[in-house]
Amino acid sequence: MININDIKNGMTIMIDNEIYQIVEFLHVKPGKGPAFMKIKLRNLRSGGILDKTFNTNVKFARANISKQNVQYLYNTGDIYYFMNMDTYEQLELSKDQIGDATNYLIENMNVQVILYEGELLGIDLPDKVELTVTATEPAVKGNTANNAMKDATVETGLVVKVPLFIEEGEKILISTANGKYSSRA
């Protein structure tokens, strides 16, 4: 059991038979009344975000999740195939299990699969991924307003805002946390 005062960001806990990852927390000590903890939790099964408030005397059960290194192979419709890099066993994940991560997956990419007692919960992507721009409009001469951006479609079909100097065929880095352009590769 984990005391609520010992929690950290990224820790996984069990609440009402659901697995949650702590996104952020805030310890509040008001002038009147007892202290309490505000915690933002992400459900690892559904991906939903939940804000909860707890007293400081609460204890949680720790959810021991494991991660395995896998390589993305290909997809057929809504089924995505991965290969475990240690055992060479193939895993199948549905589009629902992966969620928005499908926007960043390219063949032969190494990611981590998140498991809880043999149950596949999803995948963990790197912070930034390198993708190739497949379509974008050419920059218009004279359009030099501050921070001018244009739409660009990358090889996975994701549309991101990029600076005017980015052209088709260039490799760019995209943040997987917010889906925004980061830099040239």
pLDDT tens digits for the chain (185 residues)? 888 888 888 888 998 888 998 889 999 888 888 889 999 998 888 778 889 999 888 898 998 888 889 999 998 988 989 998 888 888 888 887 787 888 888 888 999 888 888 788 878 888 899 999 999 888 766 666 667 788 899 988 889 998 888 888 899 999 888 888 888 87
174 alpha carbon, distance to own chain's centre: 12
Identify whether residues 117 and 136 lie together within a single domain: no
Identify whether residues 43 and 95 lie together within a single domain: no
In angstroms, the CA 26 to CA 36 distance is 9
The model's pTM is 0.70
pLDDT of residue 3: 87
Identify whether residues 161 and 148 lie together within a single domain: yes
The region, left, alpha or beta by phi > 0 then psi within -120 to 50, assigned to residue 65 is: beta
Identify whether residues 96 and 58 lie together within a single domain: no
The DSSP symbol for 137 reads: P
Output the CA torsion sign for 159, 163, 167, 170: negative
pLDDT of residue 182: 85
Partners of 74 in the beta sheet? 81
Number of domains in the chain: 3
CATH number at residue 141: 2.40.50.140
Tokens 């995505």 belong to residue: 80
Domain ranges, residue 154: 128-184
Q: Which amino acid is at 62?
A: R
Q: Looking at 45, 62, 79, which one is the last position of a domain?
A: 62
Element (H, E) at 6: none
Identify whether residues 142 and 96 lie together within a single domain: no
CA distances from 83 to 90, 96, 106 (A): 4, 19, 14
pLDDT of residue 70: 92
